[in-house]
A and B are shown apart, each in its own frame.
Chain A
Amino acid sequence: MGRSGVSKGLLAACVLSALLVAIPVLITIVQAVQGGLSAARSAVGSQSTLTLVLHSIEVAAVATPICAVLGVATAWFVERTNLPGRGVWAVIFVAPLTIPPFVTSYAWAYFGRPFQGFIGAAGIIAFTYYPIVFLLVMVSLRGLDPALEETARSLGLGGWKTFFRVVLPQVRPALYGGVLLIVLDALVEFDAFVGLKFQTFSFSVYAQYQLGFSPSGAAALSLASIALCLVLLFGEARLRGHANYTRVSQGAPRTPHRYALGRATIPVLIGLAAVSAVSVGIPVGMLVRWFSESTGAALSTASGNLRYLLPATITSIEIGAAAAVVGVLLALPIAVAVVRSRSGVVTLLERVTYLAFGLPDLVAAIAIAYAASHWLHSLYGSFALLVFAEGILFVPFAVVALRAALGQLEPSLEESARSLGSGGLESFWRVTMPLIRPGLAAALVLVFVFTLGDLSTAQVLLPVNLYTLGTEFNANSSTVAFTAASPFAAVLIVLALASAYLLMTRFGRVRTAGRR
């Protein structure tokens, strides 16, 4: 699209989006500065903080390569081989991302001590977040021109060499994009570790907040995370260089060749089943176990909890749906601008949306609560404030999902609409929107399901009279037995699997044939 450029109106919308998303970051910086140097030094300088930061970096360093390998491999098997049951596998590969991390966390913890430490932490991150790479690489593989691989083969390259020298370089932008999200997430993850005895960077922030009750200390710590985030963002931008998401080439789209697995079919199926057993089997299996392990006391607590189930479900869905709309609305102008132009300003605005994501959820939530209590008191403790906080948190994911769809559209479509007398907004509404509807749905589902699986933000900002599936699960999991928490987990997992299905069938897709 490149030269079609970004209009002033679109740029203004992007700036507004970026500013709204950056609110927690800006407030955190203000808090840190207000706290002064001594508070910062005591928070940042302590030996335990350093240890915890190292823990986070170690988890990211171990989990991210696993995510990259798992994500690329699963995407390749689904998209480029004749793997039996590809459609079902695809949903199974996406599912871990949609299952709330805190449920996964308690499930892993159930395996005992070894899994409550570093192995558990790295394992949860690796097996929960590899679907990000899977989704992005899958879309990228789908758009590859099969002629390139055929040419490589004709030049005498074998299957593996073709993969490493032709296929992998082309999916690299998608891979880097996915890896960036995973690293940022791993560094500030908190929810996924709630069931473990392993403490990371976010825990030190939590401790500052909870024990010391020092928001400025927490803010000072978060500055370190923002700084790290900046390094990663620019590193990724440099790595990616001028590469862009692959766009479908002109002319009749050809279906890429699918490799016949042949005798490798059984070993591959076993390998993929093993991955699924860890990523989906553990949380879902544990849920079944929690149900079956019902002692009398636990059962009575569970049945006592049942009356909270429906209201919690409704509240969760309401918050998730509203946050999805907020997140996608904020992401839309940025995604459109990024697809149209790779100018410095646009890239900067896009990167700003990642900054808030690089902040520990808890810090972002506290910053928003702080802002509301100081300047917009009527919003403090309101439903709207929670929705806003959840929405802005997941804007980078919504941008990624929208980009994957927008990148598939030929720019000449919107240009043709302009030539027929439709203004910029009208062209977008009449041509682009209907075409990217599946991608739009994927973006909504992504924010919805992440909101559903978010605990930290809800714990800080949930209005006093409300409770969600997540908060109820968490409250009950720390008391009698998991049986009491399991009805909430069951609803969460059902919603997660339904979301996984929607995501899989819609992510990175555009409408090609319309309604009949």
Chain B
Amino acid sequence: MLTGVDLVVPEGTLTAILGSSGSGKTTLLRVVMGFVAPDSGVVSVGDRVVADPGRIHVAPDKRAIGYVAQEGALFPHLTVAENVGFGLSRSERRSRRRVEEALDLVGLEHGYAERRPQELSGGEQRRVALARALAPRPAAVLLDEPFSGLDAALRAETRSAVLGALAATGATAVLVTHDQAEALSTGREVAVLRDGRLVQTATPPALYRTPVDLDVARFVGEAVVLPGEARGGSVTCVLGALAVRGDERDGPVQIMIRPEQIRLRPTGDGGVAARVVAKSFFGAETELHLELLNGAATPVVARTFDEATVEVGDERSIAVVGPVTVYEP
């Protein structure tokens, strides 16, 4: 199920693993946790090898890796304090100090300590789950879709509480998600998993701007793909001559442009003439589907923050800002 997964998570940082459902991200997490033994390959935490088939398989409870399951998985028969103290020694549990520290970390008042998991909102449950995972000071923490199923406001609040707690403890963390915005906004690095393989590991901007192939490009964000002809650091296509990022190849290529690189101007102001054929309103931004007037069949998508100034049927001139990325045709 998983092959060629070579991932190093630098100490004290958060790496997001991004994959669609069925990509193997949960399996990867379970291998690292020790719930599943790999057939081959090595897992180590710090200098310590915890899985090396045929030689070493450290039990999940001996790995000192914290785990925040989907939906939190709070023990329903225990209070918040008992949940958070679960992994602590008996004396630490009794003194309550570490429990309160852990609650502070995730920004929950001590008044929550005697509550039942059933009395908490979804976001509070995730925070308690993280506090529980952090309380025994694990060497690393794994979070499995920690914000899934929360509504937008709660999601943002929970997200900042969780990231704040992770940063405050300097924890080495791995967050697994299928949501590209979540991956890009949380990880120091993002690792893209596809069909059980790690196809790219990079910082969020690098991943977004120079994805390893068009599939990754489309997975981490919206992409406009056009054919073109590259020569000496620039590429010619229906949108004119564009600067190429990095790549020095010559000949026919596929060009990947992010919609926010495509800007609208009044007609006649240079650029390529286009007509708005459809408009989708997303609140802060509006997505425009454009048809080129020079007869090219390629659909082009652009984004604007000025919804009120554009209507379907309007003609505009479009220009591309910044360098584009090219791929083998």
Which residues in A have some Cβ–Cβ distance to B below 8 Å? 3-5, 250-251, 410, 412-413, 415-424, 426-427, 430-431, 434-435, 511-514, 516
Contact = CB atoms under 8 A, between A and B. Distances in A.
Contact of B79 (A5, A413, A426, A514): A514
A417 B86 contact: yes
A419 B71 contact: no
Contacts of B76: 435, 511-514
A373 B60 CA distance: 47
A514 to B, nearest CB: 4
A512 B35 contact: no
Interface in B37-69: 59-67, 69
Given A435-B77, A514-B78, A415 B35 contact: yes
Contacts, number: 93
List the 5 shortest-distance A-B pairs measured between CB atoms, nearest first.
A420-B87, A419-B67, A412-B69, A412-B73, A418-B60
B149 interface: yes
Given A3-B36, A250-B71, A412-B70, A419 B77 contact: no
Nearest to B83: A416
B75 interface: yes
A250 B71 CA distance: 8
A418 B77 contact: no
A419 B36 contact: no
Contact of B73 (A410, A511, A514, A516): A410
Contacts of A417: 61, 75, 86
Contacts of A430: 86
A424 B61 CA distance: 8
B86 A420 contact: yes
A28 B62 CA distance: 46
A308 B62 CA distance: 58
Given A4-B35, A421-B64, A435-B76, 20 more contacts: A3-B30, A3-B35, A250-B71, A251-B149, A412-B70, A415-B73, A416-B69, A416-B73, A416-B129, A417-B86, A419-B60, A419-B63, A419-B66, A419-B138, A420-B66, A421-B136, A424-B59, A431-B77, A513-B116, A514-B76
30 contacts: A4-B35, A4-B36, A5-B36, A250-B70, A250-B71, A251-B71, A251-B149, A412-B70, A415-B60, A415-B67, A416-B132, A417-B86, A418-B33, A418-B60, A419-B63, A420-B66, A420-B132, A420-B136, A421-B61, A423-B61, A424-B59, A424-B61, A435-B77, A511-B77, A512-B76, A512-B118, A513-B118, A514-B76, A514-B77, A514-B116
Contacts of B129: 416
Contacts of A513: 76, 116, 118
B75 A413 contact: yes
A150 to B, nearest CB: 20
Main secondary structure of the interface of B (DSSP, over half): loop
A250 B59 CA distance: 27
Give the residue among B87, B118, B136, B149 with the most A Cβ atoms within 10 A: B87
Nearest to B142: A419
Given A413-B73, A513-B76, A419 B149 contact: no
Interface of B: 30, 33-36, 59-67, 69-71, 73, 75-79, 86-87, 116, 118, 129, 132-133, 136, 138, 142, 149
Main secondary structure of the interface of A (DSSP, over half): helix
A419 B62 CA distance: 8
Given A422-B87, A511-B76, A513-B118, A415 B33 contact: yes
A413 B86 CA distance: 12
B39 to A, nearest CB: 13
A511 to B, nearest CB: 5
A310 B133 CA distance: 55
A250 to B, nearest CB: 6
A362 B217 CA distance: 72
A511 B79 CA distance: 13
Give the residue among B69, B129, B136 with the most A Cβ atoms within 10 A: B69
Contacts of A5: 35-36
Nearest to B27: A3
A288 B75 CA distance: 48
A418 B75 contact: no
Contacts of A418: 33-35, 59-61
Nearest to B60: A418
Contacts of B118: 512-513
Contact of B61 (A3, A250, A422): A422
Given A250-B70, A431-B75, A511-B76, A420 B133 contact: yes
A434 B75 CA distance: 10
B71 to A, nearest CB: 6
A513 to B, nearest CB: 5
Give the residue among B67, B70, B118 with the most A Cβ atoms within 10 A: B67
A418 B133 CA distance: 11
Contacts of B35: 3-5, 415, 418
